[in-house]
Amino acid sequence: MPTQCRYCPLQRKDAFLPLSKDELSFMEKFKSGELTVEPGTPILLEGSNAPQLFTALSGMGIRDKTLENGKRQVINFVFPGDFIGLQAGVMGEMGHSVEARTHMRLCVFNRSEFYNFFKSHPERAFDITWLAAIEEHFMGEVLATIGQRTATQSVAWALVKIFERGRSLGMVTQNQMPLPYTQRDLADALGLSLVHTNKTLAALKERQLLSWSDRILQINDLEALAKEGLTSLEGRQKRPLM
């Protein structure tokens, strides 16, 4: 028996908007189970028409897509609370793949009930659209990063964003947070070569702004790093949780 939504640990994180009792019990009906996967497990495949949607409950993953020439683009990193599979749910086909990078626990929803969802709970339907808009907003920022920032600025920007995200989820302790990705993942996310990403990271480390090894990211001067990344530290606003 999966944990009931009212006991969902994400509920209590202040990164998320709280759900009403009514909404919670509705989500419990919508929830069809839980899925636990190990690192490296594919969760959704690009081009697939998946019958299930997920919310990441714990652990981290990655979204990516592959070009005809074999090159890979990382779309973004999956954190707890992320909704996975919207594209399949509404368009019938994923534009990217999702893969676990750590042990992950996922809340599973049945796609066949997705449309019902809109019918019976407009507030929740609105929240899904909200999530989609947040995603679109963020992807605009990523576009601007890959398109307009230099390698150093890009890396700084990305790590600031990741760190802020981690902080809002309570993953940061003493300026450190777990970051279970490889330099290749970051390189593919930023449209940079692995080698150049490595050298860029080394330079930032040299400047004492951060260190990232053994899957631990430590940021020593977030302000300075944000400045380097041509961004500022806005307080992250709460988002809906599915």
Partner DNA sequence: CGCACAGTTGATATTTCTCAATAAGGGTGG
Partner DNA sequence: CCACCCTTATTGAGAAATATCAACTGTGCG
Binding site for its own copies (CB under 8 A): 65, 67-69, 71-73, 75, 86-87, 89-91, 95-96, 115, 118-119, 122-123, 125-126, 128-130, 132-137, 139-144, 146-149, 188-191, 230-232
Single residue of 4, 120, 208, 213 touching DNA by CB under 7 A = 213
Please say whether the beta carbons of 117 and 125 come within 8 A: yes
Distance CA 74, CA 227 (A): 24
Distance CA 6, CA 224 (A): 40
Which DSSP category does 198 fall into? H
Number of residues counted as binding DNA (CB under 7 A): 18
State the binding partner of 156 from its own copies, DNA, none, CB within 5 to 8 A by kind: none
Strand order in the sheet with 216-219: 176-178, 216-219, 210-213
The nearer residue to DNA, 143 or 202, going by C-beta atoms, is: 202
* Residue 194 CB, nearest approach to DNA (Å): 6
State the binding partner of 142 from its own copies, DNA, none, CB within 5 to 8 A by kind: its own copies
Distance CA 213, CA 140 (A): 29
Distance CA 159, CA 162 (A): 5
* Residue 167 CB, nearest approach to its own copies (Å): 20
Which amino acid appears at position 211 of this protein? S
* Residue 44 CB, nearest approach to its own copies (Å): 13
Q: Tell which positions 166-205 bind DNA, by CB under 7 A.
A: 182-184, 191-199, 201-202
Please say whether the beta carbons of 219 and 162 come within 8 A: no
Q: Which residues on adjacent β-strands are paired with residue 70?
A: none
State the binding partner of 135 from its own copies, DNA, none, CB within 5 to 8 A by kind: its own copies
Distance CA 242, CA 240 (A): 7
* Residue 66 CB, nearest approach to DNA (Å): 15
The nearer residue to its own copies, 3 or 73, going by C-beta atoms, is: 73
